[in-house]
């Protein structure tokens, strides 16, 4: 089990509840003494939450944290809908059976939100718009009242930025990296990505059939925000002829040329995998809409449609576009993601036991480790231009439109 919570003695407060009250310096002397006594022991009561966009494997992490925690005697509180649950004081106890049989389920049993950063929470401004308010004190109060000594926060960069801003006020976190985009700074991999790659590659394979039957150019838009990992990995896995990623601005004439030259050589169809953040050389990113309530308000979209129109106009070849969309975020996690999520969750539990707070679990060169959460906030990990998959894709003739 690796860790046991004290039920009596200095680590167990008389009222049976640990209270987390911000920095030791602000505490009444008795509470500070009690916390100092607890400092040697694993936390007795923890929270767990999932923040940002959902992805396959969230439930596997929840299970990997909650089961050993309950077995070690910790109380676990599930925070509903990410930071919203902390802001609105919506939490409930989680027992062993609540996390039984959820390993293979997509989504999150706790709910999530990508619109609720406590340091800049959107509230109505009274005239039909929104204004951002700092509600971190409210969050602190709710966490304190629930007796949470630490919170396991499962999320991407936005969620970790939110955690970093609460750490400043004295809340304790242990972070677990998730996102289909694989763009979290300081970890080589995030869970959810492999499942999304599998879904996207399957879709590209299917589109291949139609493209070759109808001799068409098919442009498929994939998620990934400002990083091209998803388009690169799914595109390469399914043998896309052209892959467009944010890291490599593309020349639309070069993309059109590739389609024409393929057709001249008897390959009468072309598959283009376009990351939603891909940018034409000298042009702008394609924005679908702006979500004012979100801390990260830009929602990308539209590149595939534009590329298809421009290729058809330039070449006369029939072109179609499609947007794969949120299907990439759903479904049962692949076995790879289940294993990764379970290992991440277990490492988070070990960090909790050792009271190694405010750290994010990471995987580097196949090894689990952790880094301070504040180090990863507001950073994006993009595809380096010498990435081995990128180089291998180029070597087999894939065009990146450059
Ligand atoms: O970060 C995950 C992600 O799916 C991105 O790939 C995408 O750009 C974004 O979230 C979509 O956000 P929403 O669910 O708010 O439309």
Task: Give tens-digit pLDDT for 56-68.
Answer: 999 999 999 999 9
- Of 221, 299, 303, 324, best ligand 1 pocket probe by most atoms within 8 Å of the beta carbon: 299
Instruction: Determine whether 181 is an active site residue.
Output: yes
- Of 156, 223, 290, 302, best ligand 1 pocket probe by most atoms within 8 Å of the beta carbon: 223
Confidence of residue 393 (pLDDT cuts 50, 70, 90): very high
How far apart, in whole angstroms, are the C-alpha atoms of residue 231 and residue 219? 12
Q: 65 phi and psi, to 5 degrees? A: -90, -45
CA-nearest residue for atom 2, ligand 1, is 53
Q: Give the DSSP per-residue string, 1-51.
A: ------SSSTTS-TTS-----SSGGGS-HHHHHHHHHHTTS--SEEEEEE-
Confidence of residue 18 (pLDDT cuts 50, 70, 90): very low
Whether 167 shows a pLDDT value over 90: the answer reads: yes
Q: How many CB atoms lie within 10 A of CB 367?
A: 8
CB 189 within 8 A of CB 243: no
CA-nearest residue for atom 14, ligand 1, is 53
Q: Tell the CATH topology of 17-191+333-375.
A: Rossmann fold (3.40.50)
Query: Could you give the residue range(s) of every CATH 3.40.50.460 domain in the chain?
Result: 193-328
- Number of the ligand 1 atom closest to the C-alpha atom of 230: 6
Query: Could you give the residue range(s) of every CATH 3.40.50.450 domain in the chain?
Result: 17-191+333-375
Strands 298-300 and 287-290: antiparallel
pTM of the model: 0.91
Whether 181 shows a pLDDT value over 50: the answer reads: yes
How far apart, in whole angstroms, are the C-alpha atoms of residue 60 and residue 58? 5
Task: Give me the residue label for tokens 């969230």.
Answer: 58
What lies within 8 Å, CB to CB, of 148 at 6+ separation is 20, 45, 46, 47, 77, 171
Ligand 1 contact via 155 beta carbon (within 6 Å): no
Ligand 1 contact via 113 beta carbon (within 6 Å): no
Confidence of residue 38 (pLDDT cuts 50, 70, 90): low
pLDDT at 22: 38
- CATH number for the domain formed by residue range(s) 193-328: 3.40.50.460
Whether 352 shows a pLDDT value over 80: the answer reads: yes
Confidence of residue 20 (pLDDT cuts 50, 70, 90): very low
Q: At what angle do helices 193-214 and 335-353 cross, to 10 degrees?
A: 160
Confidence of residue 15 (pLDDT cuts 50, 70, 90): very low
- Number of the ligand 1 atom closest to the C-alpha atom of 183: 1
pLDDT at 317: 96
Least confident range of 21-30, 44-53, 99-108 = 21-30
CA-nearest residue for atom 13, ligand 1, is 53
Per-residue pLDDT tens digits for 68-79: 999 999 999 999
- Number of the ligand 1 atom closest to the C-alpha atom of 326: 4
Per-residue pLDDT tens digits for 113-156: 998 999 999 999 999 889 999 999 999 999 999 999 999 999 99
CB 112 within 8 A of CB 48: no
pLDDT at 10: 41
Whether 19 shows a pLDDT value over 50: the answer reads: no
């Amino acid at each position: 089990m690796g860790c046991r919570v004290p039920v009596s003695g200095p680590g167990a407060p008389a009222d049976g509840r640990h209270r987390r009250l911000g920095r030791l310096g602000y505490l009444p002397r008795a509470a500070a003494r009690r916390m100092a006594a607890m400092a040697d022991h694993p936390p007795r009561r923890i929270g767990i939450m999932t923040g940002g966009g959902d992805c396959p494997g969230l439930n596997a992490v929840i299970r990997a944290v909650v089961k050993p925690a309950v077995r070690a005697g910790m109380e676990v509180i599930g925070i509903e809908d990410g930071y919203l649950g902390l802001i609105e004081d919506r939490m409930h106890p989680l027992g062993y059976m609540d996390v039984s049989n959820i390993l293979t389920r997509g989504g999150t049993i706790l709910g999530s939100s990508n619109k609720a950063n406590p340091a800049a929470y959107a509230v109505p401004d009274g005239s039909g718009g929104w204004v951002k308010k700092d509600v971190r004190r409210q969050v602190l109060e709710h966490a304190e009242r629930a007796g949470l000594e630490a919170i396991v926060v499962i999320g991407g960069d936005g969620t970790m930025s939110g955690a970093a801003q609460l750490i400043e006020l004295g809340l304790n976190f242990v972070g677990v990296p998730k996102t289909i985009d694989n763009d979290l700074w300081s970890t080589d991999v995030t869970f959810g990505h492999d499942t999304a790659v599998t879904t996207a590659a399957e879709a590209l394979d299917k589109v291949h059939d139609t493209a070759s039957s109808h001799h068409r150019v098919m442009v498929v838009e994939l998620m990934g925000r400002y990083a091209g990992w998803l388009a690169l990995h799914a595109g390469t896995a399914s043998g896309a002829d052209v892959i467009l990623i944010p890291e490599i601005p593309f020349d639309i004439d070069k993309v059109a040329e590739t389609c024409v030259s393929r057709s001249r050589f008897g390959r009468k169809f072309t598959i283009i995998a376009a990351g939603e953040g891909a940018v034409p050389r000298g042009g702008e990113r394609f924005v679908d809409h702006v979500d004012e309530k979100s801390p990260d308000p830009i929602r990308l979209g539209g590149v595939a449609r534009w590329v298809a129109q421009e290729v058809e106009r330039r070449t006369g070849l029939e072109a179609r576009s499609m947007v794969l969309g949120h299907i990439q975020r759903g479904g049962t996690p692949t076995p790879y993601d289940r294993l990764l999520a379970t290992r991440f969750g277990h490492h988070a539990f070990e960090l909790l036991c050792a009271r190694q707070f405010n750290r994010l679990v990471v995987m580097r060169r196949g090894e689990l480790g952790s880094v301070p959460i504040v180090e990863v906030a507001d950073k994006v990990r993009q595809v380096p231009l010498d990435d081995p998959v990128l180089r291998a894709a180029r070597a087999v003739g894939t065009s990146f439109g450059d």
